[in-house]
Amino acid sequence: MKPLIVLLGSFGTALLVLHFIQGGWHWQWPARIAMSTMLLLTSSGHFLFTQGMMMMLPPFLPAKKTLIYFTGLLEILAAIGLLIPALRTVTAICLLMFFILILPANVYAALKKINLETAGYDGPGLSYLWFRIPMQLLLLAWVYAAGFGG
């Protein structure tokens, strides 16, 4: 829920600020700013809630801690890449693949009732997927529109 609030809140804020600075309603740049802001928030989770994030990965994956730190770093780089015109398209392609690849970890975490913030098994469970899967589709559409639009 927090990433969605940050995404929508920063989009609205950036949209209004840029409207007053530039005049007119141009959504592409605010959409990129919002996704970058959300990615910075979610990347922080990789470093603040490492243990809980490691629990989201199935047992057969090796080097879980390294993988969590690496994907956190990738999210930071993606946040920067979306804002650089020369890197925007390749960053959007990478983010689309990333958002598809992380969905199984979210499904696994829901099945195991993992609470990523407490690193416990007291999470919301399968009901979380009623929120997460539509949000994942929104993130994919958002990255596509922001990454390939104007």
pLDDT tens for 78-131 read 999 999 999 999 999 999 999 999 999 999 999 999 999 999 999 999 999 999
Q: What's the CA gap between 66 and 60, in Å, rounded?
A: 14
Predicted pLDDT of residue 7: 98
Q: What's the CA gap between 17 and 10, in Å, rounded?
A: 10
Mean pLDDT of 41-50: 98
Question: Above 90 in pLDDT, residue 60?
Answer: yes
CB atoms within 10 A of CB 75: 21
| Whether pTM exceeds 0.75 | yes
Predicted pLDDT of residue 91: 98
Q: What's the CA gap between 46 and 40, in Å, rounded?
A: 10
Question: Above 90 in pLDDT, residue 150?
Answer: no
- The pair of structure tokens assigned to 123 is 């999470």
More confident residue, 87 or 24: 87
